[in-house]
Structure 1
Amino acid sequence: MSFPWAEQYAPKHPFMRYMDEKLPLPRLVFNAVGGGYPVPRNLNYFWNFGVLAGAALMIQIITGIVLAMHYAANAGVAFDSVEHIMRDVNSGWLLRYAHANGASMFFIVVYLHIFRGLYYGSYKAPREMVWLLGLVIFLLMMATAFMGYVLPWGQMSFWGAKVITGLFGAIPLVGEPIQTWLLGGFAPDNAALNRFFSLHFLLPFVILGVIILHIWALHIPGSSNPTGVAVKGPQDTVPFHPYYTAKDGVGLGVFMIVFSLLLFFAPNFLGHADNYIPANPLSTPAHIVPEWYFWPFYAILRAFTVDFILPAKLWGVLAMFASILLLFFLPWLDKSPVRSGNYRPLFKKFFWFGLIPCVLILGYCGGAPAEEPYVMISQLASAYYFAHFLIILPIISKIERPLPLPNSITESVLAKHTDGTLGDATPAPAA
């Protein structure tokens, strides 16, 4: 979005003027994250998670490149190469733990980023493309994380690869050829390990490219804000730098403290003990589970236990993929003209007391054994998850009576410092 009141880049040093003429990279940075990019003045700390996700990705890329120098993608020595990194490589334990726990931190901030978007309506026009590209990033993250989980070649790595790739075998006609093509054989072995390692190394750079598109798409309409109302003029904005670079710096400091506590005091807290046992195709673990950030989807997969027209396994696979794909249609499922959940009382209740507990319950059941009562609870939670987006949200958008919106961002900010009234605020929908 072009803001007429945005500060213009005007280099003063002769060398910077030369650079601006020949390769305007400083101008690009200035307009993207500097004073040339005005942002709403009322952004809260929920808007920090995009920057934190970028920081987590850079941690993964840097540590991953160094780890790849010492890792051997061969089923005979992969497990030993990881132990070599942990025990013999200088600071190898730090790099390996930083990479493993960095993945968890990456998913934590991305999940918070997604739920912020869901609550504040960041998926609505004119930011549909920003939302869609964000979901593409999420899918790429899931693929990258799954392939990375296989690389240590422990028990959970091997059997996780066998179970997840086995899901494709449930697809009629083409399922088994796809599964064989993915693995390069009939079971996880050297071919699968080499393919997963190559893709695990490549995909973070693909994610980085899509993030650039994500940011580019964001800069066209501009950032959303907690009220959901559109920017009306220069009084509603402040330059991104120094106001929000400072705020992001605070968030990054908190992120690094939490990350350091996890890294140095509980590096195996989010992992699985069975992955410190070398992969054994002849010994099936008692309880096969993926990493914690896949648990909600794993619970949906296991919720289908009865064959009905199609095999239960196929229903589970379809539901698992549908649970993510339906988010791509969210901008058109929620037809409410009001973006922010702060002004949607009915939506707020179903969000905080319906969707959030539902996802947490699915996560808990996904990590629990595939037995009762967890299977039944997974079935109920899965049913509510789909009902929330496909039934409840469209009905709410039609029957809900939103609260009065502020006339501008500035008005909402100033109201916090007065008596709390919004003057001539009207219930007009967000622009």
Structure 2
Amino acid sequence: MSFPWARQYEPTNGFMKFMDEKLPLPRFVYNAVGAGYPVPRNLSYFWNFGVLAGFFLMLQIVTGIVLAMHYAANAEVAFATTEHIMRDVNWGWLMRYSHANGASFFFIVVYIHIFRGLFYSSYKAPREMIWLLGVVIFLLMMATAFMGYVLPWGQMSFWGAKVITGLFGAIPLVGEPLQVWLLGGFAPDNAALNRFFSLHFLLPFVILGVVILHIWALHIPGSSNPTGVEIKKESDTLPFHPYYTAKDGFGLGVILIIFMSFVFFVPNMLGHPDNYIEANPLATPAHIVPEWYFYPFYAILRAFTFDFILSAKLWGVIAMFASILVWFFLPWLDKSPVRSGHYRPLFRKFFWFGLIPTMVVLFICGGAPAEEPYVMISQIATAYYFMHFLVILPIISSIEKPQPLPYSITESVLGTDDDAKMPAGSAATA
């Protein structure tokens, strides 16, 4: 993003001048997250969650590297080495609890980040690429988290791996060979554990690379804002530092208090108790579930209970992946010229009273046993989920009458804008 009023980096001493000439890293940081990066002045705390997601990604990488130094990816000793980390390694319990709870908090802040983007239509032009890269990051997170869930080699680790990889067996013709290729055998064992450990270690660095692209794509059009109105002049912006570094710092402080409360006082609250029992291929748990942040997609997977042309299992797999892939098409499904849900009354109603309750229901059903009434409720919720994105959203964007937008970001903050070229409060193109 280039604005004529953006502050320019000026080296303050001889060493910094030398660095600026030979390796302009300080200039890059200054322009990326410093005073040289103008940001809309009306950003709310919902815009903190991108930075928080970045923090938890780095936390997962650092703690994961430390844990990998003591973990053995061998089915005979994997569970024992996990306990060794907890009991014998200095501060190992803190590393493991921070890593395990960090995954949950990573998903929490990313879910909030995604639904903020859905409400404020952050996927609309000129920010389509930012959104598409964000969906790629989410898919990589899911793959990384699933593989990490297998590594402790508890009961839920083993049977979760068996169930999820078994889904590939539903693919006609190539399904079973693909499943055997993924596991390196006919059931989760040493080969699968080694593969999952290797990929679990590698994928966070791939995520980090895509995050860099995500931020790079963000800096081209600049940040969105709660009004959806584009920046028009200098008074619409504030330098990222110190205003938003302070705001992000406050948000980080709040989330760290909550996070460390979990780590120190209820570290196992977000985990499953069966995963503290060593994996036993001969003892199937009464209720096999993934980690809690996969519950909505697990509910969609189980919502298909009858065969129709294809097997119910294959329909479930297709629907589970389609529930995320549909996000790729949002920039073209939502044709409204207005971005912010604050100025779209019909969209706002369907978002808060349709999509959000549906996701809550899917969360509940995904963690519940695969029995009635949960199966029927998840079927209804799944049908509405797809209807919201594929039917309701395109229709709303075509028929609703948006409320008048402020002329500029300055007007939305101060109530007036002396430089306005039209009467305050009149509609402006988003």
Give the TM-score band, short-chain normalised: over 0.9
Alignment-mate amino acid for residue 412 of structure 1: S
Distance (whole Å) between structure 1 residues aligned to residue 76 and residue 320 of structure 2: 33
Would the alpha carbon gap of residues 387 and 416 (structure 1) be closer, same or farther in structure 2, given more than 3 Å must change? Answer: farther
Distance (whole Å) between structure 1 residues aligned to residue 427 and residue 306 of structure 2: 48
Query: 1:4 is paired with a residue of what secondary structure?
Result: coil
Q: Does 1:12 align with 2:12?
A: yes
Contact between 1:402 and 1:427, CA under 8 Å: does it hold in 2?
A: no
Residue number in structure 1 paired with 2:309? 309
Q: Does 1:362 align with 2:359?
A: no
Contact between 2:227 and 2:340, CA under 8 Å: does it hold in 1?
A: yes
Contact between 1:147 and 1:197, CA under 8 Å: does it hold in 2?
A: yes
Distance (whole Å) between structure 1 residues aligned to residue 139 and residue 237 of structure 2: 33
Q: Does 1:155 align with 2:168?
A: no
Alignment-mate amino acid for residue 378 of structure 2: S
Alignment-mate amino acid for residue 226 of structure 2: P
Alignment-mate amino acid for residue 79 of structure 2: F
Contact between 2:411 and 2:424, CA under 8 Å: does it hold in 1?
A: no
Deviation at 1:178, TM superposition (A): 1.1
Q: Does 1:58 align with 2:52?
A: no
Distance (whole Å) between structure 2 residues aligned to residue 428 and residue 383 of structure 1: 36
Residue number in structure 1 paired with 2:3? 3
Distance (whole Å) between structure 1 residues aligned to residue 423 and residue 163 of structure 2: 59
Alignment-mate amino acid for residue 272 of structure 2: H
Deviation at 1:172, TM superposition (A): 0.5
Q: Report matched runs for 1:45-84 at 5 Å.
A: 45-84=45-84
Distance (whole Å) between structure 2 residues aligned to residue 347 and residue 135 of structure 1: 22
Alignment-mate amino acid for residue 325 of structure 1: L
Distance (whole Å) between structure 2 residues aligned to residue 97 and residue 238 of structure 1: 38
Residue number in structure 2 paired with 1:400? 400
Q: Report matched runs for 1:175-214 at 5 Å.
A: 175-214=175-214
Distance (whole Å) between structure 1 residues aligned to residue 158 and residue 152 of structure 2: 9
Question: Structure 1 segments of 4 or more deviating over 6 A?
Answer: none
Deviation at 1:342, TM superposition (A): 0.3
Residue number in structure 1 paired with 2:330? 330
Contact between 2:407 and 2:427, CA under 8 Å: does it hold in 1?
A: no
Query: 1:238 is paired with a residue of what secondary structure?
Result: strand
Deviation at 1:412, TM superposition (A): 0.5
Distance (whole Å) between structure 2 residues aligned to residue 416 and residue 42 of structure 1: 14
Deviation at 1:429, TM superposition (A): 2.8
Deviation at 1:300, TM superposition (A): 0.1
Residue number in structure 1 paired with 2:115? 115
Distance (whole Å) between structure 1 residues aligned to residue 250 and residue 423 of structure 2: 33
Contact between 1:6 and 1:37, CA under 8 Å: does it hold in 2?
A: yes
Distance (whole Å) between structure 1 residues aligned to residue 411 and residue 428 of structure 2: 15
Distance (whole Å) between structure 2 residues aligned to residue 428 and residue 2 of structure 1: 23
Residue number in structure 1 paired with 2:139? 139
Contact between 2:161 and 2:188, CA under 8 Å: does it hold in 1?
A: yes
Contact between 2:335 and 2:398, CA under 8 Å: does it hold in 1?
A: yes
Q: Does 1:101 align with 2:89?
A: no
Identical-pair percentage: 81
Deviation at 1:424, TM superposition (A): 2.7
Query: 2:39 is paired with a residue of what secondary structure?
Result: strand
Residue number in structure 2 paired with 1:27? 27
Query: 1:165 is paired with a residue of what secondary structure?
Result: helix
Contact between 2:407 and 2:425, CA under 8 Å: does it hold in 1?
A: yes
Contact between 1:404 and 1:427, CA under 8 Å: does it hold in 2?
A: yes
Alignment-mate amino acid for residue 224 of structure 1: S
Can you list the C-alpha shifts for 1:240-293, whole angstroms capped at 9, x where unaligned? Answer: 000000000000000100101111111011100100111011111000000000
Q: Does 1:248 align with 2:236?
A: no
Query: 1:7 is paired with a residue of what secondary structure?
Result: coil
Residue number in structure 1 paired with 2:169? 169
Residue number in structure 2 paired with 1:272? 272
Residue number in structure 2 paired with 1:390? 390
Distance (whole Å) between structure 2 residues aligned to residue 429 and residue 232 of structure 1: 12
Alignment-mate amino acid for residue 203 of structure 1: L
- What TM-score do you get using the length of structure 1 for normalisation? 0.98
Q: Does 1:218 align with 2:218?
A: yes
Contact between 2:416 and 2:424, CA under 8 Å: does it hold in 1?
A: no
Distance (whole Å) between structure 2 residues aligned to residue 423 and residue 66 of structure 1: 60
Residue number in structure 2 paired with 1:294? 294
Can you list the C-alpha shifts for 1:176-195, whole angstroms capped at 9, x where unaligned? Answer: 11111110111100000000
Query: 1:375 is paired with a residue of what secondary structure?
Result: helix
Distance (whole Å) between structure 1 residues aligned to residue 244 and residue 177 of structure 2: 51
Alignment-mate amino acid for residue 328 of structure 1: F
Residue number in structure 2 paired with 1:91? 91
Alignment-mate amino acid for residue 299 of structure 1: A
Distance (whole Å) between structure 1 residues aligned to residue 60 and residue 353 of structure 2: 34
Distance (whole Å) between structure 2 residues aligned to residue 34 and residue 6 of structure 1: 11
Alignment-mate amino acid for residue 429 of structure 2: P
Contact between 2:333 and 2:390, CA under 8 Å: does it hold in 1?
A: yes
Residue number in structure 2 paired with 1:373? 373
| Gapped regions of structure 1 (runs ≥ 5) | none
Alignment-mate amino acid for residue 265 of structure 2: F
Distance (whole Å) between structure 1 residues aligned to residue 133 and residue 276 of structure 2: 36
Contact between 2:410 and 2:416, CA under 8 Å: does it hold in 1?
A: no
Distance (whole Å) between structure 1 residues aligned to residue 234 and residue 16 of structure 2: 28
Contact between 1:338 and 1:402, CA under 8 Å: does it hold in 2?
A: yes
- What TM-score do you get using the length of structure 2 for normalisation? 0.98
Residue number in structure 2 paired with 1:230? 230
Distance (whole Å) between structure 2 residues aligned to residue 179 and residue 328 of structure 1: 27
Distance (whole Å) between structure 1 residues aligned to residue 54 and residue 268 of structure 2: 24
Deviation at 1:174, TM superposition (A): 1.1
Deviation at 1:410, TM superposition (A): 0.1
Deviation at 1:91, TM superposition (A): 1.1
Deviation at 1:416, TM superposition (A): 9.2
Distance (whole Å) between structure 2 residues aligned to residue 148 and residue 300 of structure 1: 22
